[in-house]
Each structure stands twice: as structure tokens, then as C-alpha cells.
Amino acid sequence: MTHLEQLTIHEVHKLLKSKQVSSVELTKAVIARIHAVDPKIRAFVTVTEELALQQAMQADKRIADGDCRPLTGIPAVMKDLLCTKGIRTTCSSKMLENFVSPYNATVIEKLYAEGMVLIGKANMDECAMGSSTENSAFFATHNPWDLMRIPGGSSGGAAAAVAASEGFYALGSDTGGSIRQPASYCSITGLKPTYGRVSRYGLIALASSLDQIGPMTRDVEDAAIVMNAISGYDDRDSTSVSYEVTDYTKALGKNIKGMRLGIPREYFADGIQPEVASTIKTAIVALEELGAHVDWNVSLPSSPYAPAVYYVISTAEASANLARYDGIRYGFSYQAANSMWEALEKTRQFGFGTEVKRRIMLGTYVLSAGCYDTYYLKAQKVRTLIRQEFESAFEKYDALITPTSFNLPFKLGEKTDDLMASYFYDVCTIPVNIAGIPAISIPAGFVDGLPVGLQIIAKPFAEEKLLRIAHAYEQATGWQQYQPPL
């Protein structure tokens, strides 16, 4: 039997609208679920229990007044790098362990305007640097499908919470795959929108030319509903784009007959687990059976260089973004120093974890005199090639289909020693951020009880196409209906 907290946004919205259930009941059910399962999963850095109940009461008043929007009264989880006024925003870093945001991120403002109930802030890799959530300065999060395994990252807490019914949806952020890869590992839907589609104001920055906020949900319809609420131009983010926002739910329920899908061979290269490759191939055959024309012989020859491009560009941008942590205006501050410079050095020494320091050092190096042309400028040029190859592909194809990850979720602690390997895991997701285009990961089945995610990639601002294909596949296969054995 399906419990209340396991329903989707669109299912629970109907119950709220018809007053069969109240937001307070819904919120209590989610809180009870968090108490029951989160000691095993550890998805949350902060649970905002009292605040959530107050917000639920307000939502119930609003619903009683006849104003029940698609997200009104529904408990949601925010990755802990989205600023929430009056609530701790830690970035899972010792540096921000006690930081209380003085303002809301634009996406938070937009969701509050829709009547969101905020249930808590989710664990992540420190400063969004990592793919396992093991880099959190506080604790690791466990995968609801197998508690011995990682949930993916960096939005691992958000993905685990949604998969384990500890909230109906989450917002994550994706710089190199940080929404899609944990969505894949936890068998949920994760959408990385086009760069500029969603305002980044109030998102604690990792790499400003790559970061994008997006929904993590239990099915494709829910992703469309959340996209409707968070998309659009914002004058506080000058990289956001005024491209028209349409009703994304209109993309749902349409067939995909005659759509042209390309399968880039570089995304099935050496290193992919054979069971993952065969699961994705089965999914592609299912898309073919739904009437899509599939070209199995597409090539994006520069994509294998994307991880190297990513680690040059993202660390360069991160080294600049993280210069703001000085222990003076907010955050961790080393007090027992004799001078301002010593205080600054010790604050950063003890406030940042190892991975963060390593990336700051690397980013400073690739930007430094004598190295700029060799590393940074070179990476920016290869970035152009990667982008151009996608542009050419989208002249012929409506979308590209790939695995989200080469691997099934690893065991906790299995991969942290192998640095170079961990940097190159995200080979399927990184090229999408490099090119600034949208992509979605949806559940595509299981191998020995572990989830496999299918990635669909489209041209800039073609989120509707992603949702249309994803929804057709989901409705035909039903993989989104499975619940983890908790």
C-alpha cells in the first residue's frame, strides 16, 4: 500500500485541492517518515520541523480561501547551498556551519510565493565539490536502495530524501552532474535546465559559468510542475535569460512518434559497466518501440575531453568564488591569531576540507601567470569545440540519449582514495554543463537492486522536448513507481 508521503506532487495536489487531506497532515506524515528513516539515511543537515508546521497551517488557510496552486502546502527539501532567510545554510562546510542566510535565494522566494512548506536542508559534498556526498564536512548520506552505498553527489542528500519519501521534491544544483548523477543513483527524476533558465541568485557559487539549479522529483510530471515555478528571468542574476517560459506540463502526454534520437558512441566507451550499457540499450529499444527514429551511430569526438576541461574551468572559477571566505563578515573565524593575515590563513586552513583546498589550489595554478594559456585558455577553446559538436548534432536530432553514469552506485568509502578516477566519473554529465544545455535523468531499471539512470540531452531551452520524451518513456515502462526497500 502506498502511504501519503510516498505520493507524487500531482497526486497529493489533488488531495489538497479536494480537501481530502490538509497540508498539516501531509507535513506531519513527512516529519514522521524523517524520524523513522533518516537515522539510517542521513539526508538532512537541518530539519525545519516547527517552521514547516507553521507554513503548513498558512498553506491550509490559503487552500481554504480557494488558492491551491500546484505546489501549495507541499513539503519540499532544499540542497543546503540555497540561501533560506533565517535558516542555517551550511554548504555542508565547517566554514558555514553556523551561517544563517540574511536573505532568500530567488528560487526560494518563488517557491514560497507558491505556498511551499520547507521541511529541511539537505546534505551535500562540501561546497558542491564531489560526486558521492562523502565530502560533506558533517557526515555521509546513505543510498535508500542500499544503505552500504553512496547516494551520488553533490546533491546526494536531496536525492536520497526524495527517494526515501522524506519530502515530495527537492531543488538541487548541477555544475558537472550534481543533480542528474544522484537522481540516477537514487532512482528519481533530475533535471538540469539550460544555463540561464533558472536564476542563480542566492545559490552559493561553485563555478559560475556552469552552475544551474533544477528539480529533483519522483516523476517527470512533478519535474515539469517545479520547473513552472522556478524558471524565468531575474534582474538579480545577470546571466539569467528572458527567453519565454511556457507551461512545461503541456509537454506531457504526447507521443514521440517520428522524433529523431541520436546515440553518441563516446558515452558508451571503455569504462562503462556492461550491465549499465545493456540496461540503457534496452531503454533505447523501448524508445524505438514508442515510434522514435534512433541513430545508433552518432559521434561527439570532443566529449571525452570534457572532464579535463571541467576540472580546469570549474576549479579556476571556484578559486575566485571561494576567496570571499575570510572569517570577517560571516562564517568560521580563527580567533587565536596575532595578526590579520594569520587569522585569514588559519580561518581558511581550518574552515575548508581537503577537497576544497585542493581545488582552490588547482584553480589558482591554472589561472596564474605562465599557466593561463596552457591550461585555462586551452580549456576554454576545447569548451567551444564541445559546444559546437552539440550544436551540429541538434541540427539532425531532437535529443541525444546516453547513460547518466558509467557506473552503479559505489560502496561508501570505496573510491575516495582514487583521486583521478573520481574526477573522471562524471564523463556523461559534464559535457552538458560545458555546453550550457539542458538534460534530464530518469529511472531506467535496476541491476541487482541498484538503480540505473537514462540521460536525455537537448538543445538550449528545449526542456519541453526532454520532458516529452522522458514522460513517454516513464509512462511506458513504469520504473518511477518502485520504492526503495526501507
Partner 1 sequence: MKLDREEVLRLAALNKLGMTEEDVSVFSRQLSDILEGFEILNQVDTTGISPTAQPNSLFNVMRADIIAPSMPPSEVLANAPLRNGEFFRIHAVLE
Q: In terms of CB distance, is 112 or 423 closer to partner 1? A: 423
| Separation of alpha carbons 352 and 123, rounded Å | 16
* Max CA distance (Å), the chain: 71
User: Helices in 4-97 by DSSP H: which ranges?
Assistant: 9-17, 23-41, 49-64
Q: How far is the CB of 461 from partner 1 (least distance, A)?
A: 10
> Is 79 noted as a catalytic residue in this protein?
yes
Q: Is the Cβ–Cβ distance between 189 and 222 less than 8 Å?
A: yes
Query: In angstroms, what CA-CA distances link 345 with 230, 303, 337, 340, 357?
Result: 38, 38, 10, 9, 12
Distance of CA 453 to the CA centre of its chain: 13
Taking the CA of residue 384 as centre, how many other CA atoms within 13 Å lie in the half-sphere pointing to its CB?
5
Q: In terms of CB distance, is 102 or 258 closer to partner 1? A: 102
Strands of the 399-403 sheet, one edge to the other: 44-47, 117-122, 75-79, 169-174, 212-217, 189-192, 439-447, 450-457, 399-403, 260-264, 293-298
| Separation of alpha carbons 443 and 432, rounded Å | 19
Q: In terms of CB distance, is 319 or 455 closer to partner 1? A: 319
| DSSP sequence for 118-161 | EEEEE--SGGG--SSSTT-SS----BTTBTTB---SSSHHHHHH
Q: In terms of CB distance, is 140 or 241 closer to partner 1? A: 241
Q: In terms of CB distance, is 141 or 173 closer to partner 1? A: 173
Q: Is the Cβ–Cβ distance between 394 and 456 less than 8 Å?
A: no
Strand ranges, E, within 199-328:
212-217, 260-264, 293-298
Identify the active-site residue in 79, 110, 121, 465: 79
> Is 154 noted as a catalytic residue in this protein?
yes
| Separation of alpha carbons 153 and 123, rounded Å | 9
| Separation of alpha carbons 366 and 370, rounded Å | 9
Q: In terms of CB distance, is 72 or 302 closer to partner 1? A: 302
**DSSP code for 82:** B
Q: In terms of CB distance, is 296 or 423 closer to partner 1? A: 423
Q: How far is the CB of 358 from partner 1 (least distance, A)?
A: 6
Identify the active-site residue in 92, 154, 155, 333: 154
| DSSP sequence for 387-409 | HHHHHHHHHH-SEEEEES-SSPP
* Residue 373 cell numbers, joined: 594559456
Identify the active-site residue in 131, 178, 303, 422: 178
* Residues forming the active site: 79, 154, 178
